[in-house]
Every structure is written in C-alpha cells, then in structure tokens.
Structure 1
Amino acid sequence: MVPTNSLARAPERLHALDAVRGYALLLGIVLHATISFVPAPTRFWIIQDSHPSLTLTVMFFVIHVFRMTTFFVIAGFFGHMSFHRRGGAGFIRDRLQRIALPLIVACPIVFTAVVPVANWAANFPNGGPPPGAPGWPPVLPAFPLAHLWFLYVLLQLYAATLLLRAGIVWLDRDGRIRAVGDRALLWAMRSPLAPVVLAVPIGIAFNLDPRWLVWLGVRTPDQSLITNAQALIGFGTAFGFGWLLHRQTDLLKILEQRWLFNLVPAIVLIAVCLDLGFIRPPLPAPLRFVAATCYALAIWTTTFAMIGTALRFLSGYSGTRRYLADASYWMYIIHIPIVLTLQVAVSQLDWPWPAKFAGILLVAIPVMLGSYHLLVRHTFIGAVLNGRRIPRRDANVGTAANSAAM
C-alpha cells in the first residue's frame, strides 16, 4: 500500500518541525536551569538556591507539561521518514550510531563530571546528592540515566516499532489493515477532539497511579533500566502518533490551521493544573481525577499548539534556527554538569533570582555553543550526532531533512 503522503510540500514544513525538535531540547536546558530555584518540601536536585522563585517554578511546570511529548511526536515523525529513506538495515545502523553510541559514551562521562559537583554542593545548605540517588557502580536494574533517559527510551521505541511493523506487514500483505489505520488517523485528526483521543491512554495511567502528583507529570524513567509503564504509555503514544503522522503529511495542515484553537484550551488547562498543584497532597479523589484528566489533556493540546504554531510561523528557512537545531543535540547531552556547576556557584550569593538565573544561562549557553562549533560541527562527532559532517565551506548551508531525523 502507498501511504497518503504529500512529500512535494513536506520540505517547507520540515524546517518548522526540525525547529520544534531543537527547541524541545533547548527548553530542557532552560528547565533544568530553573530547578534549583523551585522551592520543595523535600530536595530533589543537588542544590536549592537561597533565593527561590515562584516565577521560575511556574516556568518549570509549564515546560514540563509538553516538552518531551512534543519531542517524541517529532522523533516518531522523522523516524518513519528515515526508515523509508534508508530501509530497515540502514535505519538500524543509523539509530545505533546517532542514538545508542552517544548514550553509551556520554553516560559515564556525564556521571563522572556530575559527581564532584554534587560533592561540592554537599558543603552548602540544601545541597548534595538527592536522597535516594543511586551510587556507583549501580545495582542493576537501577542505573543513573539522568537527562539521557530519552535516548534509552527512543531505542526501546524504535525496536518495538520495527517489530510491530514487521508483524503487521507479514499479516497485512495487501495493506488493508494499514489503510484502515490511516483512515482512522485521518478521521481523528479532522475532529477537534483529536487531543482528547490521544490523551486517554496517559490519563488512564495517571489515574491508576496512586503516587501520581501534578508536579510529576509523566514519571521520568531516569534512574532505572526498566522503563516505567507511565513513560512507555505516554511517550510511546506520542512516538506512535508521529510515526503514523508521517504516512499522511497532509494532516500537518490541520495542526497548522488549528494552532490557536489548541493554544487557548492548552493555556486554560495548564492554569487549572497549576492551581491544583499548589494544593497540599494528597488531593481528595475527585480533585485528583480532575487533575490527572486535565494534565493529560494539557499535554496534548499544548503539543498540538506548539507544533501548529511552528508550522504557522516557522516554516521558512532560517540559518539561525537551522544552526540551533543542529547544535541542540550536543548542547543537551553536555549541559547538565555545566548548569549544575553554575547553580552551585551562585546558590549562596545574595543576588536576586533574575540575576542568578540569567547569569547561569548567559554563561552556559555560549560555552555549549562554542564547544559545538569548535569541537563538533565540522568533526567526526558532528557526523555521529547529526548524521553527516558539515564541511566548513558549507557551514551555513543545510536542509532540515538531513539532520532532523532523530
């Protein structure tokens, strides 16, 4: 069966989608920079700043709602594109190079760099390794994946998708089942209730988890090699949706047209969740159901809004956005030790939080961008991360499809 693709129009839109993927990673750097300023009854970061901030707490909450779901939608979309361009064997080789290899190499390096920073933080009030953090060497299946957990989950989703696809192709030799799936997605996307349909699985997972809290969102699988069911359901739904969305790229137009339609309820739902999040847990059962349901809906309305907004306003080529999208993967991999070091350094200073937060980002981002330009962009490391080494003469030239297929 031939998928209903509109690849003739896709390249213009890919600039927007690649920007979304890059910005999702860059927002992760901003999110982690806010955490030391988030007041919490129990410490969950290596340092709590002496000047907490309600503004940064709200920023942390909002970014956390949609960032990774949006990333996994884009990863699924570009994953399907890469699979059909490279074939099965080529796709597997590419994923091993660009996902598995960075995970294997970066994990011990990042952990080694974080340990002395955590020990330094222990000299200050509210500092040091968070309670319950696994030591080294870890006792499996406990393993400190930290912020690189998304690579580990991606590998699982790639493997599961390839196995599932192979089974469907074997059973569905004439393509009828896939045609039904395409029509179901088309019907769902044409309905304004598409975010509601996608929110059902993770909403059920939230409601079935007695330990779920509004501030947690989708429980991140960062401390174990056994990925929790909530993450598999939430991010697996997002990845699968993105994979199927690439079979019918005309559906991107619906997201673009409804960017404001999705943005308004997203803002309202996030506000409701934030308000419920400030109620001291445990929430009464009715409120807990409302919170879990609203959070699941907020995830998907915001994800649709972010992708649609990018398609509406960022579809044209931009050299700056292209560069940042290329750099974002490297920056995200290396950012944790840099950001933690700066957070500890300013944590006890008697500066207002805006000065501290701005200082962290104004130091960290140029360092990361500089290291990308000097050490990565034109080297074999760039070839590993972005799929190709960018020659210096072509430093300002590139297409979104070449490096966006993470």
Structure 2
Amino acid sequence: MSDHEAAPSGSGPARRWHDLDALRGFAMLLGIGLHAALAFFPSFWPAQDRGATDGGGFDWFLYAVHGFRMPVFFLLSGFFTAMLWRRRGTVALVAHRARRIVLPLALGMITIVPAVDWVSERATQGSIDNWAMGAAKEGDIWLPVLLGQPDAVPVAVANGADVDVRGDDEGRPLHLAAFMDLPDVTQELLDAGADYRLTNKDGSTPLVVAVWVGSERVADVLVTGGAADIRADDQQWQDIEWFGQGALFKQLVLEPEVEDETGLDSWIDQFHHLWFLWFLCWLVAGFALIAPLANEVGKGIASAKVRRRLLWIAFPLTLALQARMGDSGAYEAFGPDTSTGLLPAAHVLLYYAVFFGYGAAAFGARTDDGEPLIDRLGQHWRIVLPATVVIFLMAIDATFGDEPNRWGSVVLQVLYVWGMTFGLIGLFRRLLSGERYWVRYLSDASYWMYLLHLPLVILAQDWIRDWDIPRIPKFLAICWGVSGLLLLTYRYLVRYTPIGTLLNGPRTRPEPSPSVAGTIDGS
C-alpha cells in the first residue's frame, strides 16, 4: 500500500519515509502471526489445536500484539494520508484511496471473505471435538452436551464431573440434551448414571422436555433407559396434544434472529480481517471533509510549540475510548474491541480515528528547529520500549490477575499502546531510515500478504492441529509456510501485474546489469 507519490512539478523531490513504510508493513505482517496464534490457546477460533489446553504464552503474545498493532497502522495511515493530501490535493487523495482501498475491499468481499467463510466452516467441525474434549478433561460436562459430543461425556465424568449437576434453571445435563434433541448424548448420560427422574424449576423431567420440543428420538432413548412412558396405549409421540409446542422456542434460543443494526437487509455480514479497509474508507472520507477546515484554523496558530501541544489531546481521548472497551468493563478485555460489521461500532471507529488523526496532524508538525516531528517522536526508544514491556506485564495483571483493577488496566493499556507506538517509530528510524531493497520489497508485499493470509492460515491450522508435536513448532510452521507461499505468489503473480499496480502502484522489473546482459547474450 505505497503512498509515496512524486511531488508536483516544481516542488522538488518528495521525501520517502523508508522507516515508516517498513513499520507499517511490519504491523501488517504481525497480523499473520496473531491469527496463527489463535489456534494454540483455548478460544472459539475455527481451527482449534488439540494441544490448546492452556495459554502456553500464546495468549500473552496475542494481547501484546493486539494491544498496539492496529493503532500503529492507523497512525501511519493518517500520516501518509496527510502527506498525499498536502502534495496532491483532496480530489487526487480521494481518487488514490478509491483505487488502493475501496476497490481491493470490493474485490475482497466477493473472493477473500467467502473463502474465509468456507474454510472456517470446514475447520469448525473439527474444532468442536477439541473444545468438548478440552472442557471434559477439566471436569466440565455442560460444554460437551451443548456441543453435542457424546464421546466427551464419559471423559468429563472420569474427570470428576457430576452427571446430575444443577444448572442455573435447576435443569440437569439430561434436560439440556433433551432440549437440543441429542439422543446419543442422552444415551451416554444415562450410561453414566444420570437420573431421568430429576426435574427442573418448572417441575419437568427430561422426558417432558423432549416431548415439548418435539424430540421423538430422545423420548425413545429415555423410555428405553427406564423413564415412565407418558403415552396412552398405542399412542404415538405426535399424538400427545402438547408434542412439539416448544419447537419454536427452541429455534429462537438456538438460532436467534439477529437484528440488522444498520436498518438495512445487507448481504454483508462480516468483513472479517478486511475490516481495516472499511475503517479506512470512513476515516479518509472524514479527513477529506475536515482537513481543509483544519488547515485554515491551523494557519492562525503561528507557534510550532502550540501546534505540538494540541496533539496531547489524543491521550485523554484514548483513555476515554479505552474505557468503553469490553462493554465498558463488563468483561475483561485487552486492547481495542473488534468491529467487523457494516456499521462500525462507534467507540472502536473513534478509537482508531484518534490515532489516524494524530498521524495526520504529525505530518505537518515541526520541532522548534524545523525538523519534522515524526522524526523525533521515538528518539528515546531505548528507554521507552523496555519501560513499555514492564507496563505490559502490569497491564496484564491489572486486567486478568487475581485482583483485577479496571481503571488501572485502562490507564496501563493506554500507556502501553502509546509507548509501543513511539518506541517502534524510534526503533525503526534507527535501524531502517535508509533505503534497503529487501525492506522496500517486504513493505510492498505486506499488503497482498495480509489480504490473502487468513484462509491460508486457517487451512494450515486445520491441517496440522492433530499432529503430535509441540505447539511452538506448529505455530512457526504456519507462519513461515503461509508467508513463504504468499511471497512466492507476490513475486510471480502480483508485483508486476495489474494486481500489483492496484495495490502498490506500478513496479518496473529491474534491468539486468550490463555484465549480466553480456553474459546472457554470449558476449
């Protein structure tokens, strides 16, 4: 996603921020590792590895990366958006972003998103068994029943689960199996000693529940297992007057209709990992409307120091928006919430808008001696990055520790995201401020790699999840294998093709040196 365009005629050569290009590409490539890690600790990810019985450090890796990756990306996107606007104007900016963002998003919605849906559905079927078995080994009998996994029931019992444990409505696992029409699970529960005579808060036995929801199969299993048959002589289950009266209620519970918050019957359900392109559409549109007015206001502020101080407003804004994450603290959350629908969650969009706006304002900001502010932001990275690691550990403890501290967590997470942002800007400026061909190449390739990686990652996770090897080698194999494949496709199918032009602008194949050309020609 290259933004460095030639300066207008007569304005002199345009500077290229190689370090910021590299950092933006790094943020994209980290997404491959982040999504690869999701298979290796307990979570409802489509392809759950069979060894994902605990965090294993992968959960911490996820929190660490998620806590800063996209804020850094959006800050840099704001910076490059402002740069393009300054050099070429609003109309050219909108046209450029339409080519590089809107069109790839539209194409992705009819290619990449369906591919993610397909591989996710395929992988989820295999994950259900792992989820159920993982819970069963912890002595949880409810999840195996809920997921309809009969083989996990005796495992749960062997690990101390009470087969007749009471639920919130005083129902038992047998009631749940009957409600969900799971005859095989019902049989396993009976074989494990479940009492079919116990009632829920409504005074209903599992057999009554089975008849009410219209489950003949479960009713037959219960009667065969010893439950008193409630039918009259020669009567079928369907002949009972109230048979199946709860079927509609069951459907509403198990398959609730989700109201379209946009008020539109949109076919767009999820952008999946392409949500960031949709957010950029909103942010660039907002920038195109606000930037001319903000520019006029800024002309009235002569002092560079005052302009820099105005940037500090980003920090309390980040704090206020971070407090909204996790449903305003209803559950523990690290980093920003995720919003992948057609109408972005307002607090998430505003959160990223703060970073986008900071980056845009930073493009025109200068130090007192006239140096671009962006070049000074991370000058103390040697101190900031180690301190931010300590802040991360404190934030994890405040969020997920034995004694969670909500406001401590919010403050520490804000310190973490800004510390990582400034620290990485400084580190990349120190290491990659000069042009390096391989860094430029990876920066260009990162856009294509991120767009295409998710279905490949899920396929790889699904393929190797049952291999009897440790999780770390699996994780590295997925990251390296998928990245290597995507680099090959970029090299041979994308870089010098219309796809590459769409994503990064035109690229010219390097000409062989005269000595090489002479050798080829036989001279």
* Superposition TM-score tier, normalisation by shorter sequence: 0.7 to 0.9
Residue equivalent to 1:403: none
Residue equivalent to 2:426: 308
Residue equivalent to 2:30: 27
Is residue 274 from structure 1 mapped to residue 423 from structure 2 by the alignment? no
Structure 2: tracts of 5 or more residues without a match:
1-10, 131-146, 148-253, 367-371, 514-523
CA drift of 1:326 comes to: 0.5
Q: Work out which of the residue numbers 220, 226, 246 in structure 1 matches 2:338.
A: 220
Residues 320, 133 of structure 1: alpha-carbon distance in 2 compared, 3 angstrom cutoff: farther
Is residue 379 from structure 1 mapped to residue 497 from structure 2 by the alignment? yes
Alpha-carbon distance in 1 for matches of 2:30, 2:286: 28
Q: Work out which of the residue numbers 232, 240, 249 in structure 1 matches 2:349.
A: 232
SS of the residue 2:118 aligns to = helix
Residue equivalent to 2:323: 207
Q: Write the letter of the residue equivalent to 1:154.
A: L
Is residue 83 from structure 1 mapped to residue 85 from structure 2 by the alignment? yes
CA drift of 1:34 comes to: 0.5
Residue equivalent to 2:49: 49
Residue equivalent to 1:400: none
Most deviating of 246-255 and 91-100: 246-255
Q: Work out which of the residue numbers 11, 14, 17 in structure 1 matches 2:15.
A: 11
Residues 213, 242 of structure 1: alpha-carbon distance in 2 compared, 3 angstrom cutoff: farther
Q: Write the letter of the residue equivalent to 1:230.
A: H
Residues 10, 73 of structure 1: alpha-carbon distance in 2 compared, 3 angstrom cutoff: farther
Alpha-carbon distance in 1 for matches of 2:89, 2:310: 29
Residue equivalent to 1:103: 105
Work out whether residues 214 and 277 of structure 1, in 8 Å CA contact, stay in contact via their aligned partners in 2: yes
Alpha-carbon distance in 2 for matches of 1:325, 1:107: 23
SS of the residue 1:366 aligns to = helix
Residue equivalent to 2:509: 392
How is 1:117-266 mapped onto 2 (pairs within 5 angstroms)? 117-126=119-128, 139-140=265-266, 143-168=269-294, 172=297, 175-177=299-301, 179=302, 182-187=304-309, 198-208=314-324, 209-211=327-329, 213-222=331-340, 224-248=341-365, 250-266=372-388
Residue equivalent to 1:339: 457
Alpha-carbon distance in 2 for matches of 1:202, 1:230: 10
Q: How many equivalent residue pairs?
A: 369
Residue equivalent to 1:402: none
Deviations 1:239-298 (A, max 9, x none): 111111110252123224221232133112111112233337xx76xx111111111111
Alpha-carbon distance in 2 for matches of 1:168, 1:322: 33
Work out whether residues 334 and 413 of structure 2, in 8 Å CA contact, stay in contact via their aligned partners in 1: no
Residues 290, 140 of structure 1: alpha-carbon distance in 2 compared, 3 angstrom cutoff: farther
CA drift of 1:362 comes to: 2.3
Q: Greater CA radius of gyration, 1 or 2?
A: 2
Is residue 288 from structure 1 mapped to residue 412 from structure 2 by the alignment? no
What TM-score, normalized by structure 2, do the two folds share? Answer: 0.65
Residues 253, 112 of structure 1: alpha-carbon distance in 2 compared, 3 angstrom cutoff: closer
Q: Which has the bigger relative contact order, CA under 8 A and spacing at least 6?
A: 1
Work out whether residues 24 and 443 of structure 2, in 8 Å CA contact, stay in contact via their aligned partners in 1: yes
Residue equivalent to 2:177: none
Most deviating of 98-107 and 259-268: 259-268
- Aligned-pair RMSD on alpha carbons? 3.1
Alpha-carbon distance in 2 for matches of 1:330, 1:377: 9
Alpha-carbon distance in 2 for matches of 1:125, 1:361: 20
Residue equivalent to 2:478: 360
CA drift of 1:101 comes to: 0.3
CA drift of 1:91 comes to: 1.0
Work out whether residues 396 and 409 of structure 2, in 8 Å CA contact, stay in contact via their aligned partners in 1: no
SS of the residue 2:401 aligns to = coil
Alpha-carbon distance in 2 for matches of 1:327, 1:116: 25
CA drift of 1:55 comes to: 2.0
CA drift of 1:395 comes to: 9.9
Q: Write the letter of the residue equivalent to 2:506.
A: R
Q: Write the letter of the residue equivalent to 2:32.
A: I
CA drift of 1:114 comes to: 2.0
Residue equivalent to 1:37: 40
Structure number with the higher helix fraction is 1
Percent identical residues: 31
